[in-house]
């Protein structure tokens, strides 16, 4: 049974999430603050964490960072904060997805399933070599000239979609929906920001990319 740790300080919402998830076969633990959440995860690692940012003892971004210090378990943030800065901060800290309140339960469940699929063990994923880059899709690890490159979960998801089929154009809308979720499709600024960061980390000359190619008005592709 897939285990889910729900971190939410609103008792009514925590109860609603717990009931809905259990009704769909998930093993649910619910806690109301960040300290208890970190202790609960350390005692029994869940398969996925649903995390509110507005906790009574610490900011949820700190909880994301605390978890990311030792585990890659998927983290879905729930928050009433809908500003781009808050979303970017949570995703850069290591969250896998960001859902704003109020939200639909069907959408949350779809995002939960997508996060679990992305985290599932890879069986036969090939390693991709491109110049000085080696992208180990199974280990979710990238090296450049033999040195490991640290990527955030969002950066990895973006790169992973592009390297599935080197040379193929991936439309921007598809990238947004696969990396950020099914309700995204118009936030092209997200792609510009994260592609620029990936180029700084992976390209020898970021201003003249050889591998992470933009097709203006269409999308992006990865060239070996």
Range of 180's domain?
A: 127-222
Total structural domains within the chain = 2
Looking at the fold, whether 178 and 144 belong to one and the same domain comes out as: yes
**Residue linked to tokens 């990936």:** 198
What pLDDT does 182 receive?
67
What pLDDT does 68 receive?
86
End position of a domain, from candidates 119, 154, 184: 119
Q: How far apart are CA 132 and CA 193, in angstroms?
A: 23
Checking if the pLDDT of 197 tops 90, the result is yes
206 versus 184: the higher-pLDDT residue is 206
pLDDT tens-digit map of 22-47: 999 999 999 999 999 999 999 999 99
End position of a domain, from candidates 119, 139, 166: 119
Mean pLDDT of 97-104: 89
End position of a domain, from candidates 119, 143, 163: 119
Looking at the fold, whether 78 and 9 belong to one and the same domain comes out as: yes
What pTM did the predictor assign? 0.60
Q: Residue 158's closest CA among 192, 204, 126?
A: 192
pLDDT tens-digit map of 114-170: 888 777 665 556 789 999 999 998 788 899 999 999 998 889 989 988 998 888 888
Looking at the fold, whether 53 and 84 belong to one and the same domain comes out as: yes
């Amino acid at each position: 049974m897939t285990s889910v740790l729900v971190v939410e300080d609103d008792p009514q919402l925590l109860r609603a999430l717990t009931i809905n998830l259990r009704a769909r076969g998930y093993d649910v633990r619910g806690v109301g603050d960040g300290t208890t959440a970190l202790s609960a995860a350390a005692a029994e690692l869940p398969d996925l964490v649903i995390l509110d940012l507005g906790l009574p003892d610490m900011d949820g971004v700190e909880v994301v960072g605390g978890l990311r210090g030792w585990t890659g378990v998927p983290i879905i943030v729930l928050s009433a904060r809908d500003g781009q800065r808050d979303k970017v901060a949570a995703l850069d800290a290591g969250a896998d997805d960001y859902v704003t309140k109020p939200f639909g339960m069907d959408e949350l469940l779809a995002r939960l399933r997508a996060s679990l699929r992305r985290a599932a063990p890879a069986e036969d994923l090939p390693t991709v070599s491109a110049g000085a880059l080696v992208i180990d899709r199974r280990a979710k690890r990238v090296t450049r000239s033999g040195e490991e490159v640290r990527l955030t979960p969002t950066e990895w998801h973006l790169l992973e979609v592009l390297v599935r089929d080197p040379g193929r154009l991936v439309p921007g809308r598809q990238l947004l929906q696969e990396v950020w979720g099914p309700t995204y499709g118009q936030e092209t600024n997200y792609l510009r920001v994260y592609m620029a960061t990936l180029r700084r980390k992976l390209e020898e000359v970021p201003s003249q990319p050889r591998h992470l190619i933009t097709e203006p008005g269409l999308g992006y592709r990865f060239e070996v």
